[in-house]
Structure 1
């Protein structure tokens, strides 16, 4: 059985992928929340907006106000799960539980990786199109158009404030905070203290590298699936899933390498911002 590492082992580079708050001089510690809460959180993030929108559509016509209401429900679910996990089953701090910290270097890293993500995604989708050619008259659809409808006020509220500023922050807090770290902990650690303790001593089940790779892939897939519900046809769903999986994976790698959410949040802001700019600035007939 693996034993809790000593202070020297905790500081070893082998632990560089872990949440820094879980590496203490006396050994590893783990919060009570894990993959179970992450899974329930994903269900809540899907069901609350879905059921809420279905109820609201009876009194609100489909359009920008309904989109905004659906966004509010999604953000409420994400923030609520993050708050519950941290306050009731964790360190009680977004900084320690999820690495919600920023440094000035995050601006440069986020800008570079956000633009790189756009370039990488364009190449990947171009290759996919070559392998799976579009049929004559076939048009791809995305989810950005949902947020960029209505007058200027709604464009600013849903598209700029919602899509570019608020969504990246809360989606990273939830997906790279709650989901990624929850899966990583479940794969990596076994708690040895009381089940009632919010934070307990822990020992390793398996390699932190193995646990992290698995957590990155699963959390990125979940992130992608959360974004595909807005499109109906198969090709558009595949393109959207591949795109969101790619940027989710890049944000996840940044999170575990730096131990912070700051670089991932800035990357997400840049990625969404460039997407909004492309939709607004490029004539529709030039888009695929």
Structure 2
């Protein structure tokens, strides 16, 4: 019996899988087999589509900050739609118009397991703490959330509030993780010689931060937003690479955004912390 076989008997399979994942993160792809030139070419084509979609989203966000006019109770989606449409368009085009690389998970890695809820909860709260520390360092205190609690009044006002919360805590995390960790990260990784994962994670996090910097106003907000979103991108990208699926990344993103909104609804603090919309 070989030494490697003995080790795999002594340690639980989940431990072995995590060790193998970390090795993959630092070295080469987790896809089986050696990537062909066709796989690399397809990855670069998908990356080109992603960059075009990102550029369009950034341009729309910069030139139309007020968003598009949508009737109540969906009016809160106006600003989001500007970003969602080109990002989702790029994801769909890259996914269905170009062949997926060998061994890739379906739908750009969109999968969720029960354990992802635990990892996402822990990672999301840790990232929120880190960004809160950054906010204290830069601003001198925690910024207020949208304090005052949940709105009351007409049914349309309440529904608009619910739509806004769902947009920030559910729809935006899914759309952005599909784009940045599903499309961008995988495309960058597939385009790199050796397909080193950590480089792809850093690049996808940097692009993620750059999109949010478009709407930042002032150097302090730009610093907090840029660093905060970059940290979140690193966290979600690492989770996506180590697990091979987007479930942990999406849950992390949801928890990170929702944690600040909970403070706002309960009027614990009261202003505008970083929400990755």
Are residue 103 (structure 1) and residue 108 (structure 2) matched?
no
Separation (CA, whole Å) in 2 of partners of 1:40 and 1:88: 15
What is the CA RMSD across the aligned residues, in angstroms? 3.6
Structure having the higher strand fraction is: 1
- For the 8 Å contact 1:19–1:99, the answer to whether it is kept is no
**Helix, strand or coil: the match of 1:102?**
coil
- For the 8 Å contact 1:164–1:269, the answer to whether it is kept is yes
CA spacing shift, 1:286–1:167, aligned 2, 3 Å: closer
How far did residue 232 of structure 1 move? 1.4
Deviations 1:229-281 (A, max 9, x none): 33312101211111111111100000111111011011111111111112222
Alignment correspondent of 1:261? 246
Separation (CA, whole Å) in 2 of partners of 1:269 and 1:184: 25
Which structure 2 segments of 5+ residues have no match?
Answer: 1-16
Alignment correspondent of 2:78? 69
Structure having the higher helix fraction is: 2
Which structure 1 segments of 5+ residues have no match?
Answer: 1-10, 188-204
Separation (CA, whole Å) in 2 of partners of 1:272 and 1:72: 18
CA spacing shift, 1:40–1:115, aligned 2, 3 Å: same
- For the 8 Å contact 1:99–1:260, the answer to whether it is kept is yes
Deviations 1:126-145 (A, max 9, x none): 3x33xxx65xxx99688x79
Separation (CA, whole Å) in 2 of partners of 1:68 and 1:170: 13
- For the 8 Å contact 1:38–1:183, the answer to whether it is kept is no
Deviations 1:112-134 (A, max 9, x none): 111111122223443x33xxx65
Deviations 1:91-119 (A, max 9, x none): 29994352111111111111111111112
- For the 8 Å contact 2:73–2:159, the answer to whether it is kept is no
Q: Of 86, 90, 93, which residue of structure 2 is paired with 1:81?
A: 90
Are residue 44 (structure 1) and residue 50 (structure 2) matched?
no
Alignment correspondent of 1:118? 128
Alignment of 1:5-24 (within 5 A): 13=20, 16-17=24-25, 20=30, 22-24=31-33
- For the 8 Å contact 1:224–1:244, the answer to whether it is kept is yes
TM-score by length of 2: 0.73
CA spacing shift, 1:112–1:285, aligned 2, 3 Å: closer
Number of residue-to-residue matches in the alignment:
241
How far did residue 282 of structure 1 move? 3.0
Separation (CA, whole Å) in 1 of partners of 2:52 and 2:215: 21
Are residue 218 (structure 1) and residue 203 (structure 2) matched?
yes
